[in-house]
Every structure is written in C-alpha cells, then in structure tokens.
Structure 1
Amino acid sequence: MQPDSLDWKIIGILSKKHITNSMLAKRLGVSEGTIRQRLKKLQEKGILQIRALRDPNILENQQLAMVAATLNEARLLDQKAQEISQLKNVLSVSIVSGRYDFLIEVLVESNKGLVNFLTEQLSLVEGISKTETFVVLKSLQKWI
C-alpha cells in the first residue's frame, strides 16, 4: 500500500502535535469515520506508528542521550538492532552509515542511569566494539 495525498496529510498533521480524530476530520474536510479507517489501515501496514513520547525537556530527573555504537560483524546488524531495542531505557535504535553502525536513543533518570545502561546493559550485547555517547541538552522536535 502506498499512502495517498490524504494519508500524507494525516501523517503530517499528527507528526506536529496531538490532535483528536474529530479535529483532524474537520481540518481535512472528511468524516471522522474516514479518519479512523485511514489511521487503522496506516497502522496495520506499518506506515504509521502511534506512541506516547516522554518529553525530557519537561520531565524532571530525566536524561536523554544518543549512543553511537559499532558492531564487529555487519551481517548481524538487524539481529543486534532488534536485541538492543529490547533493552530497558531504549527509545529507538537506528542502523546508520558512517563511522558507527547504530544510533541508540536512550532515556534514563540520571548520569548514573546512563553509566548503568552503558556498563550493565549495552556492554552485554555481544559484538559491540565501540561506543560514543552524546548527552542531549535540548530536544526540539521528535518526528517529521
């Protein structure tokens, strides 16, 4: 299934802010039933994922970090990305090009929590050979 122009409009509006189905229908000039049907189809096809995101800019005692990691064996990229995505505190895992193989977004309670993630969780993933950690000072946008 390829999204059509209405699907892309729905995705675009939802990516900017939370909006009810009723408000979305009114804004796009279609029925609320059409919106529900489109959202269900987009989710079933894996085109759209709806999830709650915590905003570390607002929440106290939360630290967002990006961890770049290198894997010894390129043939295991997908398998290890899946394994990493199951670790506690991991928000997302991206397979990337360049110096590193993965970019891992983590949300922890403190610097101590970040150290714990690196030394007691990520270091146990077999094949991870190098990491570099970036502490996020401010996050401006979650999704496009």
Structure 2
Amino acid sequence: MFFDEDKNEKNTAAMDATDKKILNLLQANAKQNTKEIAGQIKLTISPTFERIKKLEQQGVIKAYVAILDRTKIGKSLMAHCQISLFKHSKELILNFRKEVAKLPEIIRCHHVSGNYDFLLEVVVSDMNEYQRFVVEKLSTVEGISNIQSSFVMEEIKEGFVYPL
C-alpha cells in the first residue's frame, strides 16, 4: 500500500520520541497491529492509531511491504549499472526517468553526481537474462551514451531500517 507521495516533506524534528518508537517498531515488523504497538510504547490503542495515521498522511510512512529473499524467488543476479546520458537536457532526463520506471528489473534508480548520471540496481535470474535486459530494454532508452555494469558477488549488508 503506497500513500500519497505528493505531501509536503516534514522535518524529523517535528516527531517526538513516541513517534520515533512507533517508526522503529514498524521498521522492525510492519505486520504488528496497533494494539501490539500501543502495548510496547505504553499508550492506548486510539492515540497510537492516530499517530500512525498522522505519520502516513505526512508521508513519513510511505508504504508497508514484504521484503523478499531475491535468491529464493529466482533473482540471483544483481547488477549496478552506471548510466551516462549523451547530453544533459531536461527532456532527456525526464524521458529517461519515465522509461526506466517501466522496467521491472530495475528495483532502484538514483540520479547521481560524479562520473555518471544515474545508478541503477537491477535484479534478474542469470547472465543470459541480464544480457537480454540490456540489449532489448535498457539500450533502447533514448539518450544513453554509456552503460557500465558491476555485478554483486556477495551482499555484506542489506539494510531497510533507517536510524532515528
């Protein structure tokens, strides 16, 4: 479930210690119900529910998801692709963003500074699927001048919890 991402971003300073406790509990296990969370933060259910709703409405809580083991679902190859565009124009950048959003193999895309323009995280089943992805999908996106790939040999740390 994704919430409205167009809400104004709120500064974490507006959150009190109880809000941060709620967020830490949800980051550890988003399946907890309001009653379970309320018991752990020493509030009743109603104010706990209201705080969670407020955090959702403010866009602090963006979604509730299940984090999968990619190898157990057949996505054992992970690559980081550094993408350079041949020209930095608003039109090309917007088109690139729109086109990569359509590609399910790309699980993350960051517009970055430095030696390249975008950093993609791609997951596929194997090298053959990766080659098909690059040749048939990624390389067809208008404006790309260079694609460099690095393959993940081992994940040392995989984090989804933000320190509060």
Match of 1:53 among 52, 61, 67: 67
Structure possessing the higher radius of gyration over alpha carbons = 2
Measured against aligned partners, the alpha-carbon deviations of 1:78-126 in whole angstroms (never above 9, x if no partner) come to 4422321221222121111111211112221211111122111111111
Greater Cα shift, 29-38 or 81-90: 29-38
Greater Cα shift, 19-28 or 84-93: 19-28
Amino acid at match of 1:28: I
Residue 88 of structure 2 corresponds to which residue in structure 1? 73
Q: Does 1:102 align with 2:118?
A: yes
Rounded Cα–Cα distance in structure 2 between residues aligned with 1:74 and 1:53: 36
Structure 1 regions of 5+ residues with no counterpart?
none
CA contact (8 A) 1:81 1:94 kept: no
Structure 1 residue runs of 4 or more that deviate by more than 4 Å after TM superposition: none
* Matched residues, number: 143
Q: Provide closer, same or farther for how the CA distance between residues 11 and 116 of structure 1 changes in structure 2, counting only shifts above 3 A.
A: farther
Rounded Cα–Cα distance in structure 1 between residues aligned with 2:159 and 2:82: 18
CA contact (8 A) 2:80 2:149 kept: yes
Q: Does 1:20 align with 2:27?
A: no
Q: Does 1:115 align with 2:131?
A: yes
Residue 89 of structure 1 corresponds to which residue in structure 2? 105
3-state SS in 2 of match to 1:59: helix
Structure 2 regions of 5+ residues with no counterpart?
1-9
Rounded Cα–Cα distance in structure 1 between residues aligned with 2:52 and 2:127: 38
Rounded Cα–Cα distance in structure 2 between residues aligned with 1:41 and 1:111: 44
Residue 64 of structure 1 corresponds to which residue in structure 2? 78
Amino acid at match of 2:56: Q
